[in-house]
Amino acid sequence: MSTHGADGPADHSSAASAHHRAEHTGREFTGSYWEQRYHDGNSASEPEANAHVVAELSALSPGTALDAGCGEGAVSIWLAERGWQVTAVDIAATAVSRGRERAIRAGTEIAARIDWHAADLTQWDAGVERFDLVCACYVHPVDSNDALFDRLAAAVAPGGTLFIVGHAPGDHHSAAHSDSAHVHVTAAEIAAGLDPQHWDIRRTETRTRSAIRPDGASITMQDSVFRAQRR
Ligand SMILES: C[S@@+](CC[C@H](N)C(=O)[O-])C[C@H]1O[C@@H](n2cnc3c(N)ncnc32)[C@H](O)[C@@H]1O
């Protein structure tokens, strides 16, 4: 992803701080913020499928997938190319529209496998146990992450996968532009929100990732990578 959209203080790292962070209200990350950003041509999305997605999800058998906060559709198209039937949702209509156009350019078969929705995931009905894969990369709504992650987890079908990538608390590149306290999340915090009776936690890691800033500088990001399978 481009590195100029992620934002928030980088000084919280323990699981105990999750509740504290959830009480903060970010001021920036409204639907109009994201829409404006895409509208201005200042993309918030990665041009290619996220490296963690490729590393973690390539081996899964295709089924139905929700790409939550799909941006301009790189992950949705990557999944569709692998045979997934994708529901792609983003709050920014401009991003969704670009994703749809991009999918059409990728080919009729790919485009036919993706349903695009411009919607706020904190309101949009993702359903219950509906998708074989629910994937969210760097989605941090205005309010608590917890409520969104609960909705996303509920939408995973039995045997299905919940995959979340976020900005790790130590990632100073994503800390630069915001006062939003919950832009960062640890994989352990995400895991703590799931009932261990119903989930097998497969991955909770902080990983680095190379990225190119809009000014061309090469940087290393720190990401939280979380993967779990519903029993
Ligand atoms: C940092 S971008 C990441 C985009 C994409 N997942 C990627 O990794 O390239 C965050 C995306 O989440 C979307 N988003 C933020 N809050 C949202 C919400 N409440 N509902 C739906 N999408 C949201 C934004 O519009 C934006 O496209």
Give the DSSP letter string of 115-169.
Answer: EEEE--TTTS---SS-EEEEEEES---SS-HHHHHHHHHHTEEEEEEEEEEEE-T
Backbone angles phi, psi at 46, to 5 degrees: -75, 145
Helix spans in 5-62 (H): 17-23, 31-39, 51-57
Residue-wise pLDDT tens digits, 145-193: 999 999 999 999 999 999 999 999 988 877 665 555 678 999 999 999 9
The pair of structure tokens assigned to 47 is: 């041009």
Task: Using the mean position of ligand 1's atoms as its centre, give its distance from the Cα of residue 134 in Å.
Answer: 14
Task: Using the mean position of ligand 1's atoms as its centre, give its distance from the Cα of residue 116 in Å.
Answer: 13
**Residue extents of the structural domains in the chain:** 17-230
4 pLDDT above the threshold of 90: no
Helices (H) and strands (E) in the chain, counts: 8, 7
d(CA 92, CA 199): 31
Q: Catalogue the long-range contacts made by 209-218 (C-beta closer than 8 Å, 24 or more residues apart).
A: 209/51, 209/52, 211/1, 211/2, 211/3, 211/173, 212/2, 213/2, 213/3, 213/4, 213/173, 214/2, 214/3, 214/4, 214/42
Q: Which of 4, 52, 76, 91 to mutate to test the pocket of ligand 1 (most atoms within 8 A of CB)?
A: 91
Choice between 177 and 118, residue whose per-residue pLDDT is larger: 118
d(CA 182, CA 224): 13
**For the domain 17-230, what is the CATH code?**
3.40.50.150
Mean pLDDT within 198-208:
97
Residue-wise pLDDT tens digits, 79-96: 999 999 999 999 999 999
Task: Using the mean position of ligand 1's atoms as its centre, give its distance from the Cα of residue 83 in Å.
Answer: 23
- Which pLDDT value is given to residue 181? 61
Nearest alpha carbon, ligand 1 atom 7? 45
Task: Using the mean position of ligand 1's atoms as its centre, give its distance from the Cα of residue 158 in Å.
Answer: 26
Helix (H, G, I), strand (E, B) or coil at 53: helix
Place of tokens 């629910």: 134
Task: Using the mean position of ligand 1's atoms as its centre, give its distance from the Cα of residue 96 in Å.
Answer: 10
Ligand 1 touching residue 149 (CB < 6 A)? no
Report the nearest atom of ligand 1 relative to the CA of 46: 9
Q: Which of 89-98, 103-112, 114-123, 171-180 has the lowest mean pLDDT?
A: 171-180
d(CA 202, CA 96): 30
Ligand 1 touching residue 183 (CB < 6 A)? no
> What percent of the chain clears pLDDT 70, i.e. is strictly above it?
85
Stated pTM of the model: 0.88
126 pLDDT above the threshold of 60: yes
19 pLDDT above the threshold of 60: no
117 pLDDT above the threshold of 80: yes
114-118 and 85-90 beta bridge pairing: parallel
16 pLDDT above the threshold of 60: no
